[in-house]
Amino acid sequence: MTRTPFPLPVPRLPLDGRIGALHGGDDRRSVLVTGSGGPAGIAVIRRLLALGHRVVGADADRTAAGGALADVTVTVPHADHPRFIDALLGAAAAYRVDALIGTVAEELPALTAGVDRLTAAGVATWLPDLAAVDVCCDKAAFAERMLAAGVPHPPTATKPGNAVLLPGPWIVKPNSGRGSRGLQLLDRGPDVVAAMIADPGLIAQTRLPGREFTADALVDRDGVLLTVVPRWRDETKAGISVKGTTFDSEAVTAVVAAALAAVELTGPANVQGFVADDGTATVVEINPRFSGGLPLTLAAGADVVSAYLAGIRDPHAELPPLWFTPGVKMSRYFAETYTGPDGLPVVDPSVALAVLA
């Protein structure tokens, strides 16, 4: 069967003058950031721009907000499309890309499969081992790994008959998924059994008491933990932290380090869990990517984006430990990007009117 090539659309260029360097005398290379529409992608793009890097944002959604923030944006297919790597290579060739930062965990298998082609094209990557990714993205497998490693983790069941043997109350959720999609908080055993029979893809866990935390972490290529930045999830919406506060905790740092070592993950990680009233910490899951709450970690002083990029461009670089300030608070708000009738991003409506005039 002949496959129709995925067309790489003509990029939409910002009208604020930054992109002029892409076709002028500026010989800087570009960083390609995938998932430019997600909170993590937007945070990475904003940090790279603040550091003076040239950024190409890529997303399957051509209206992704991060694309309007980047120097240039390209539309690419989803990672399960056969031309996904082709599209990335086309963008890399067009905009002198020498490094790729992926912010979507589901893209990691496709990126790993295409890493030889990316490397041959001069695009450096730092991708975690797929075995570690598979464990992190499979909640049942992750629970088994934590149990085997002795890392505190909520009791977990994958079958309805075993779920009622867990201490209640319960949380029922998809075995694979992100955010709070499909999550149910249940107080009756029969309801847990009914939910799991209706959807075999669900697992059940004992609902943990205490205060929810997220920890941003970066592990170097040799498995050395460079930083753990815990933050309270003071308020969330649709699984994304909108208010948070960094804090220091030996218990949280220790359990996060143990969990990351157990799955042998390298690169950026987002670890979630709970701290009980007595101060003990329990890990619930690990996301093998930057988090949506990354801006708070950056504001607290741990520049995991810069360190990660340095490790991408030089696999032998000795990355330093990163420090942060506890007690830094974040309150997230909405911000807007604008495009004109022709699809070109503009700085604000007054600029759009001036250009169109």
CATH of the domain at 60: 3.40.50.20
Q: How much is the pTM?
A: 0.87
**Mean pLDDT on 11-32:** 56
Q: Which of 41-55, 139-153, 193-207, 338-352 has the lowest mean pLDDT?
A: 338-352
Based on the fold, state whether residues 202 and 216 are members of the same structural domain: no
Residue 281 included in any domain: yes
Q: Using 50, 70 and 90 to split pLDDT, how confident is the model at 204?
A: very high
List the end-to-end C-alpha distance of the chain, in Å, as a whole number: 48
Based on the fold, state whether residues 196 and 229 are members of the same structural domain: no
Report the relative pairing of strands 72-75 and 54-59 from DSSP bridges: parallel
Which of 145, 178, 206 is the C-terminal boundary of a domain? 206
For 14, 220, 229, the CA distances from 226, given in Å and listed in that order, are: 36, 7, 10
Q: How far apart are CA 235 and CA 244, in angstroms?
A: 7
More confident residue, 354 or 239: 239
Based on the fold, state whether residues 109 and 182 are members of the same structural domain: no
Give the 3-state secondary structure of residue 95: coil
Q: Which of 9-23, 75-89, 318-332 has the lowest mean pLDDT?
A: 9-23
Based on the fold, state whether residues 194 and 219 are members of the same structural domain: no
Residue range(s) defining the domain that contains residue 198: 155-206
What's the CATH number where 219 sits? 3.30.470.20
**Mean pLDDT on 179-190:** 83
More confident residue, 233 or 25: 233
Based on the fold, state whether residues 28 and 111 are members of the same structural domain: yes
Report the relative pairing of strands 156-157 and 72-75 from DSSP bridges: unpaired
Residue 1 included in any domain: no
Based on the fold, state whether residues 199 and 218 are members of the same structural domain: no
- Judge if the upstream peptide bond of residue 77 is cis by omega within 30 degrees of 0: no
Q: Is the pLDDT of residue 191 over 80?
A: yes
Q: How many domains does the structure of the chain reveal?
A: 3
218-247 confidence digits (pLDDT tens): 999 999 999 999 999 888 777 677 899 999
**Mean pLDDT on 244-256:** 97
Burial class (CB in 10 A: 0-12, 13-18, 19+), 327: exposed
Q: How far apart are CA 60 and CA 57, in angstroms?
A: 10
Q: How far apart are CA 307 and CA 322, in angstroms?
A: 9
Based on the fold, state whether residues 253 and 163 are members of the same structural domain: no
Q: Which of 46-60, 169-183, 241-255 has the lowest mean pLDDT?
A: 169-183
A 10 A CB-CB count for 162 gives 13
Q: Is the pLDDT of residue 156 over 80?
A: yes
What's the CATH number where 195 sits? 3.30.1490.20
Based on the fold, state whether residues 25 and 115 are members of the same structural domain: yes
Residue 336 included in any domain: no
Based on the fold, state whether residues 35 and 59 are members of the same structural domain: yes
Pair of tokens at residue 167: 């201490």
A 10 A CB-CB count for 333 gives 5
User: What average pLDDT does the chain have?
Assistant: 88
Based on the fold, state whether residues 263 and 160 are members of the same structural domain: no
Q: Using 50, 70 and 90 to split pLDDT, how confident is the model at 182?
A: confident
Residue 47 included in any domain: yes
Q: In what order do the strands lie in the sheet with 156-157?
A: 156-157, 202-206, 170-174, 184-186
**Contacts with 136 (C-beta within 8 Å, 6 or more apart), sequence order:** 105, 142, 263, 265, 285, 286, 287, 288
